Structure 1
C-alpha cells in the first residue's frame, strides 16, 4: 500500500502523533518516554511560546490506515531576523518513522512542501521546534540512555536520511563528565577558579526559585551575548523566558542553578544544570497517574546524573576564568548531593573553545547528533 501523509487535524490525530514513538521505541532500554500530558501542552499553540514568533504544521504518515510516521514543519520569525545572510530557512522536527525509506521520503516531501509554501528555500532539522529543544538525529551513542531534552533514535534513522540525500548541516556533541572525580581535572582549572574573586571581584551565587522569572532575564542577558556567534543562534525574548521559567520550575534545584556577578553586581555568567528528570520519567512511563506523581516527589533520591544545559560567560569576561569557577562549583556540588555524573551539551562540533574545555575537565564525547539540511525544491522521492 502507498504511504499517505496528511496534516494533523483534531484530537485523535494529535493523540496518534504523540503515541507513535511509544510504539516505535517501547522495547528500547535507552529511549525515555515523555509525559503525554507535557507533550500535549508543548504542542499547544496557546501554551508554547514558540508560537508567539513561529508557525508550524504537524503531519502523520499512514499506510493502509495505520500510522507509520510523523513530522513537523515550521518557520520561525526570530530565526529569520537573526540570520538574514542565509537562504530563507524553514525547519522540520518531531521526526519518527518505521524502518522504511518510502515513509521517510513521504514525510520529508510533505514538510518541504509546506516550508516552500511559506517562501523558504532551505529546510533544516530535525528540531522540536527549536535547537534549544530536542534536536538532531543520534549518530553515535545508541547504547546510552537519553538524558533530559535529548532524543534517542535507532541507527536506521541516520542511514535512511542519508540514503535520501539529506546533507549534514552540523554535528552536536554530548560530553560525559564524572563530576565526582576531581582527579581527572587539569590543575589549571582549579588555579583559574581560585583567582576569579581576588583578581576580578567576580562571585558566584545560586538562583532563587521564588525569583526564577527574574533570574531568567539575567540568563537571557548572558545567553544573547555569549551565544550570539553560534551557528544556530536565536535570541530569547520575553515570551520565551516566561515559558522557560515555567518549565524550569518543575526541575529547579538550587544547588545547580547559578549566576556569576561582577564587582558592581552586574551579571557576567550563568550555568543551568538540570538533575536528570529522565531517570524519574522512565519510572513514570509517560503517565502521572496512578503512581507517576510518587516518583516525581522522590526525584531527588532517584536522580544521580545531570545535564549541563547552559554554561556561558559574556564575551568581555571570558578571560577571567569564571567558566572554570563554575566548573569547580559543579564538582563541589557533586560532593554534597546524590548527583555524581552527567552530560554536558550539546556543543557544536565547531565550538573549539568549549570542546577543549571539556577535554581539560576530563570529559569524553559519548553521543553525537546530526542536524540535516536540503533545498526544499529538491525533496526526497525514495532511497538511493
Structure 2
C-alpha cells in the first residue's frame, strides 16, 4: 500500500458498526499486508466469529470498540480498544488494551488510530495501555518484531517492520517479549529427557483426551491451564464458557491424540494441545470457505494432514513447577505430542508463545532442538 502524504486533518476515523463495516474491518489487513510473501489471509468466517459478541464468549468480560481510518473514500487503517474486566481483580491495575492495528507506513494514520483508541480508554478510567491484543491475552497477541521472512502459524500475527517503529514513535515501549520456537518433529530425545522419563515412569502416565467424557475433560484442562499460567505476566483466566467454546473447535478439527493429559499417581498434572496449521492448509483459499474452500480445507485436514503444526497450549500444575517432576511432566507431554503429530504426517511444529522470562521452558525447548525463530512484542504506554 502506498504511503500517503495527506495532512492529518484529512484522516477520518469512524466506529465499526454493522455488518458492512465489520467486513471492511476484517478485509483491511490483506490490503495492507497482501504484497508480503509471508502474509497468510485468515479465514474470514473465523474472524467474523471472533468479533461477534454472540459467538465469542470473551465478550462476556470485555468492553470493546473498533474503528476504521479513511482518507477520502479510501479505507486505510483499523484499530480496536478493549478493557478486560477479569484483569483488575487479579492485577489491581487500570490497564486497557489496543489491538487489531493495521495501517500503511503513514505517520498521520497511525497517530489518528492510536489517539482514538487511547482517548476511548482514558475516558473509561484506564491509565496504562498494553497491546496489541486481538482480543485478549488468551487469543492472538503481540506484534511481530523479528522473524518477518516466514509465514505465521495459525492464530499468530504478522506485521511489517514499520509497525514497531510507528508505535515507538508514538511513545510506546516494550513491556515484554513472547517467543515462537520451531521444532523439527524428528528430534532425538536428549539425555536429560530420557533420564527424567525413566526416573518417573512409575508415577507419570500420559493419555489422550477421552471423547466419552469430553465436557468433563475440558474442565480438567481448563483447571490445569488456569493453575499453570496463574503467575505469568498479564495472566487472565479462561472462563468455562470460553474453554467449552474452544472445545467445540477442538472436537471438530482434532483427533483425540492431539490433546494429551499427563497424570501423577492418577491425578491430572499437565496437558498439551497440538493443532494442524490451518494457515498452511488454507494458504490458497484467500480467507474464503465458499463455494469450494470448505471442502478443500476438510480434505487437507482429514486426508492429508498438514506438514506443519502448532502447540498453542501447554501447562504443568504449579506445585510441580521448578522441580524434576515438573520437568518430567513437561517432557512427557512434549514426547506424546511429538509421536502423535509425526504419526499424522506433520514434520515441523511451532511452540508458541513462550514468555521471554520463562527460562525453564525455553531451556527445555532448546534442549530438543527448538529454534527461536520469531519474536512478538507487547508494548505499553502510560496515559
TM-score normalised over the length of structure 2:
0.92
Task: Show the 5 A alignment for 1:1-384.
Answer: 1=6, 2-84=10-92, 87-182=93-188, 185-198=189-202, 201-209=203-211, 211-263=213-265, 265-300=266-301, 301-318=304-321, 319=323, 320=325, 321-376=328-383
Q: Could you tell me how far 1:209 is from its partner in structure 2?
A: 4.3
Cα deviation 1:338-363 (Å, max 9, x = unaligned):
01111111111111111111111111
CA–CA distance in structure 2, aligned partners of residues 370 and 169 of structure 1: 7
- Aligned residues of 2:272 and 2:334 also touching (Cα < 8 A): no
| 1:254 Cα deviation after fit | 2.1
In 1, Cα distance between equivalents of 2:218 and 2:286 = 30
- Cα distance in 1 between the residues matched to 2:341 and 2:298: 21
* Contact 1:253-1:274 within 8 A present in 2 as well: no
Tell me, what secondary structure is at the counterpart of 1:269? Answer: strand
Aligned to 1:382: none
1:209 to 1:102, Cα distance in 2 relative to 1, 3 A? farther
Contact 1:135 1:151 in 2 (8 A): yes
- Does the CA-based 8 Å contact 1:284-1:291 persist in structure 2? no
Contact 1:196 1:325 in 2 (8 A): no
Do the aligned partners of 2:86 and 2:236 also contact (CA within 8 Å) in 1?
yes
Deviation track 1:106-155 (CA, whole Å, cap 9, x = no partner) reads 11111111111111111110011112211111111000111011001111
Q: Which runs of 5+ in 2 are unaligned?
A: 1-5
Secondary structure of the residue aligned to 1:283 is coil
For residues 261 and 44 of structure 1, the distance between their equivalents in structure 2, rounded to whole angstroms, comes to 37
1: distance between equivalents of 2:12 and 2:57? 31
Shift of the alpha carbon at 1:302? 4.5
Residues 111/284 of structure 1: CA separation in 2 closer, same or farther (3 Å cut): same
Distance (Å, rounded) in 1 between the aligned partners of 2:128 and 2:41 = 31
Task: Tell me by how many angstroms 1:216 deviates.
Answer: 1.8
Deviations 1:251-286 (A, max 9, x none): 3232321001232x3211100111211111212221
Which secondary structure does the structure 2 equivalent of 1:216 belong to? helix
Q: 1:266 to 1:283 in 2, by over 3 A?
A: same
Q: What is the CA-CA distance between 1:375 and the residue it aligns to?
A: 1.5
CA distance in 1, matches of 2:172, 2:164: 9
CA distance in structure 2 between the partners assigned to 1:25 and 1:313 by the alignment: 37
How far did 1:223 drift?
1.1
TM-score, reference length from structure 1: 0.92
Once the two structures are overlaid, the 10-residue window that deviates more, 246-255 or 289-298, is 246-255
Contact 2:305 2:346 in 1 (8 A): no
Separation (CA, whole Å) in 1 of partners of 2:244 and 2:205: 26
Q: What is the CA distance between 1:248 and its match in structure 2?
A: 2.3
Aligned pairs, how many?
A: 369
Q: CA deviation at 1:28?
A: 2.1
* Structure 2 CA distance for aligned equivalents of residues 47 and 168 of structure 1: 32
* Worse overlay, 64-73 or 296-305: 296-305
Q: Deviations over 1:53-76 (max 9, x none)?
A: 111001111111211110000101
Query: How has the CA–CA distance of structure 1 residues 313 and 261 changed in structure 2, closer, same or farther, with 3 Å as cutoff?
Result: same
Residues 190 and 328, structure 1, Cα contact 8 Å, conserved in 2: no
- Provide the C-alpha distance between the structure 1 equivalents of 2:334 and 2:19, rounded to a whole number of angstroms: 45
> Structure 1: how far apart are the matches of 2:331 and 2:23?
45
Partners of 1:98 and 1:211 in 2: CA distance: 49
CA contact (8 A) 2:208 2:258 kept: yes
Q: Is the Cα contact below 8 Å between 2:96 and 2:128 reproduced in 1?
A: yes
